Amino acid sequence: MSISSNRISSSQPAINQTSTNKASTRSVGSLSNYATSTPAKQISVGEVIKGEVTDLRNNEVTVTLEDNTVVTGHLENGEQLAIGDMAAFRIKDISINGIVLEALPKSQALIENSTITKALEEAGLPKNDKNRLIVHELMKQGMPINKQSIQSILIQSYTHKTLDISTIVLMAKHHISMENGAGEQLQNHINNTHSMIPEIKQLAELVTDFFEEQLPFFSTEQTVLLGKEMLQIVLSNESPNFHAQKTPDLSFLSISQREELTELLESFSLDEIQKNDVLNGSISLRDAKNLILLNMESAKELDFQKQEELRNSIIEEAEHSNVPVDEAVLEQELSSLPKTIDLFDSPIVKSIFESYHNYQLDQNELAAFLQPEEIKKLGELLENFPISPTLKELISSGDASVKEVLTTLKNVLSFTPANETKELFHSKEFLKIFQTFLLSEWTLTPKDLKDPQKMNSFYDKMYQQLEHLSKLNLGRGSGETASNSLKQNLLFTQTLNDIFTYIPLPLRLKEQLTQADLYVYTKKKDLAANSSNLSVLLHLDMEFLGSLDIHLTLNNNRINAKFYSEEENTKQLLLNNIADLEHNLNEKGYLFQSEFSIQEKSVDIVKDFMEQGVKSTSLKRYTFDIRA
């Protein structure tokens, strides 16, 4: 050990060493200052010294104090120290064997700040705020902080001015190319603004707006040609399919409910076959709805007859008594007359109508989106089209699906007068069903999620449709932006799946479009080895429920669900209905447990997934970057 003016000299003996009875003030040698002849400095046990670490090897540290005095000693705890650090030390012991120094702890921020400063000095770069932020983000991601790394991020930050430094660093860490707007897409994911729904809505509106605003200026031939191209793009390889799917029946009603419905309908018109079909639940939902509507018309006619009979009776009685008819009394008597139609204001009838409406929404049937007068107008527009009587009847009743109508149109346009085709394409009824179809093509229903074939083709099909629509130059400007943004979103989904399993789910729920995001915690190789152990997170942003995260863990036949909601009302709603979910899962052989919490923050794509399994990097490792 030595205390010298400007260098380490391990062989130099201590000078003026004295002994004293006061152990706490024991001092060693005399100190001289660099380039001066200042009297020797005394140090004692317990004293705190401050200076710059000028050498650090093994357990020996050399510290240059503010007055240029150099102190070398044995260091007990220097894990966070690096050459160039300004640090404080306590003299822990002084003996014939040397000085023992204890490094006093520094705040993490102070250590990081010192490391950032040294990194920029070594790189020969200005110590401005932007460069400091770059080094900070590189350190945060455990990446090298040498000159090449810093300059690479700096150059990209000038090229991609709208991106945060943290996003650029994350892209570099995972070797993600900046092509196809990937940087913007990652930043959108980080900020939770990556939903496809806004662009899907915007693009569907822009396409139909183009038809409405621009087609009047096109020739008839141009209009027909463009309409054909458009239908061909969104309906490639489709053929008419007149309700091949079986309509649901009434089996969802209990036996007592079906008996009550039978009793109601028997009061009007119900033959034996219909009665048996209702009782055993085999009658289709559509036929049941039509049967109820038919009987409701009978009830209205019966009510009208009763009112007319009462009206005539009151008038005859007044004439017989030779007194004038009091109109107020007459109306009061008529309004107080019991109405037969009220018999249909029952929970069972409401349940059937609601189920049928949901079915029509799910099947994209005309009646779910068009008003009766719009359905009538559409039928008139298609009157001279070479369409089968079966489809015309379905259109008139509103029971035809949008897909059936558009697919048939695609196939018959070549045989239809051009002027009538142009009139159809410019009608609000056609534009409404075409926009509805685009939204249905680019979104998924809960039922679709159960269909592997649908899920496998959904994203590729959407991308190809967007590619073809882009070539038509529809909407230009904002339309092109929305289309490109959607395509970039789809491409970036593939990129993310190289890092972790992620599936965006643009959902079409009952009268609501929203996006769900499915994140899989389980690593792909572990999932391939054992699919009975799975950990996933489903993130939903609902119009009325707010943000909702559902963390599901599957272990053989055990499912653990943790629900995180923003609102207490949402939490209570889930609690009130969780028993139904538990019952259904138990029926399928699963043991189900659930927990409910109010969440403070939503899913963090970076911390929860992109950094999954990555160990934090100690600041100590950056000593080697700088010294190199």
Q: What is the pLDDT of residues 311-321, one digit of tens each?
A: 888 888 877 87
Domain total in the chain: 4
Assess whether 544 and 603 both reside in one domain: yes
pLDDT average, residue stretch 201-212:
88
At CB < 8 A and 24+ separation, what contacts does 253-260 make? 253/281, 253/348, 253/351, 253/352, 257/348, 257/351, 260/346, 260/348
| Domain-located, residue 489 | no
**C-alpha 124: how far from its chain's center?**
43
Q: What is the pLDDT of residues 469-483, one digit of tens each?
A: 888 776 566 667 888
Query: In this structure, how many other beta carbons lie within 10 angstroms of the beta carbon of residue 240?
Result: 21
The rounded distance, in Å, linking the Cα atoms of 545 and 597 is 14
Assess whether 80 and 131 both reside in one domain: no
The rounded distance, in Å, linking the Cα atoms of 83 and 52 is 8
Assess whether 98 and 9 both reside in one domain: yes
List, edge to edge, every strand of the sheet that includes 512-520.
Answer: 501-509, 512-520, 533-542, 546-555, 558-565, 591-598
Contact 138, 149 (CB under 8 A): yes
Look up residue 351 and give its DSSP letter: H
Sign of CA dihedral 86, 91, 95, 100: negative
Assess whether 58 and 140 both reside in one domain: no
Is 579's pLDDT higher than 50?
yes
The rounded distance, in Å, linking the Cα atoms of 469 and 284 is 39
Contact 65, 6 (CB under 8 A): no
Contact 154, 163 (CB under 8 A): no
Residue 615 structure tokens: 């160990």
More confident residue, 212 or 4: 212
Question: Could you tell me the pTM of the whole model?
Answer: 0.73
**C-alpha 106: how far from its chain's center?**
41
Kindly give the pairing relationship between strand 591-598 and strand 70-75.
unpaired
Listed residue (533, 543, 599) closest to 571, CA to CA: 599
Res 609: pLDDT: 76
| Domain-located, residue 378 | no
| Domain-located, residue 228 | no
Is 138's pLDDT higher than 90?
yes
More confident residue, 158 or 498: 158
Percent pLDDT > 70 in the chain is: 85
Domain boundary among 60, 78, 106: 106
Q: What is the pLDDT of residues 417-445, one digit of tens each?
A: 899 999 999 899 999 999 999 999 999 99
Q: Which residues contact 67 (CB under 8 A, 6 or more apart)?
A: 33, 38, 41
Radius of gyration of the chain (CA): 39
The rounded distance, in Å, linking the Cα atoms of 477 and 202 is 12
Measured CA to CA in angstroms, residue 591 lies from 268, 558, 578, 582 at distances of: 48, 5, 13, 8
Q: What amino acid is encoded at 201 in this protein?
A: K
Q: Which backbone phi and psi does 435 adopt, to 5 degrees? A: -65, -40
At CB < 8 A and 24+ separation, what contacts does 133-138 make? 133/165, 134/165, 134/169, 136/112, 137/165, 137/166, 137/169, 138/169
Q: Which residues contact 299 (CB under 8 A, 6 or more apart)?
A: 268, 340, 341, 343, 344
Assess whether 64 and 23 both reside in one domain: yes
Tell me what the pLDDT averaged over the chain comes to.
83
Percent pLDDT > 90 in the chain is: 45
Query: In this structure, how many other beta carbons lie within 10 angstroms of the beta carbon of residue 115?
Result: 24
Res 240: pLDDT: 58
Residue 102 structure tokens: 């204890």
Listed residue (553, 548, 523) closest to 536, CA to CA: 553
pLDDT average, residue stretch 512-530:
77
Strand partners, 512: 509
Assess whether 259 and 319 both reside in one domain: yes
The model's confidence at residue 500, banded by pLDDT at 50, 70 and 90, is confident
Listed residue (529, 533, 561) closest to 548, CA to CA: 561
| Domain-located, residue 187 | no
pLDDT average, residue stretch 372-377:
96
Is 22's pLDDT higher than 70?
no
DSSP string, 512-529: EEEEEEEEE-S-HHHHHH
Domain boundary among 355, 377, 400: 355
Range in 20-29, 329-338, 505-514 with the lowest mean pLDDT:
20-29
Domain boundary among 126, 149, 173: 173
The model's confidence at residue 112, banded by pLDDT at 50, 70 and 90, is confident
pLDDT average, residue stretch 141-161:
93
Range in 34-38, 362-366, 519-523 with the lowest mean pLDDT:
34-38
Assess whether 100 and 165 both reside in one domain: no
The rounded distance, in Å, linking the Cα atoms of 540 and 571 is 14
pLDDT average, residue stretch 108-117:
77
What CATH number should be reported for the domain holding residue 594? 3.30.750
What CATH number should be reported for the domain holding residue 93? 2.40.50.140
Res 479: pLDDT: 65
Residue 176 structure tokens: 């993600």
Assess whether 115 and 35 both reside in one domain: no
Range in 138-147, 150-159, 538-547 with the lowest mean pLDDT:
538-547
The rounded distance, in Å, linking the Cα atoms of 410 and 416 is 11
> Token match 């997170």: residue?
537
Res 523: pLDDT: 66
The rounded distance, in Å, linking the Cα atoms of 116 and 520 is 36
Q: Which backbone phi and psi does 175 adopt, to 5 degrees? A: 55, 45
Is 328's pLDDT higher than 80?
yes
| Domain-located, residue 411 | no
Res 262: pLDDT: 94
> Token match 């018999």: residue?
343
Res 45: pLDDT: 77
Residue 458 structure tokens: 């959904």
Q: Domain span at residue 125? A: 110-173
Assess whether 101 and 134 both reside in one domain: no
The model's confidence at residue 3, banded by pLDDT at 50, 70 and 90, is very low
pLDDT average, residue stretch 396-405:
93
The model's confidence at residue 245, banded by pLDDT at 50, 70 and 90, is low
pLDDT average, residue stretch 154-182:
93
| Domain-located, residue 98 | yes
pLDDT average, residue stretch 225-249:
76
Is 535's pLDDT higher than 80?
yes
Assess whether 92 and 114 both reside in one domain: no
Measured CA to CA in angstroms, residue 295 lies from 269, 397, 425, 603 at distances of: 7, 17, 38, 53
CA 270-253-266 angle, to 5 degrees, is: 15
| Domain-located, residue 444 | no
Range in 14-18, 274-278, 594-598, 611-615 with the lowest mean pLDDT:
14-18
Assess whether 102 and 8 both reside in one domain: yes
| Domain-located, residue 351 | yes
The rounded distance, in Å, linking the Cα atoms of 282 and 324 is 56
Assess whether 87 and 169 both reside in one domain: no
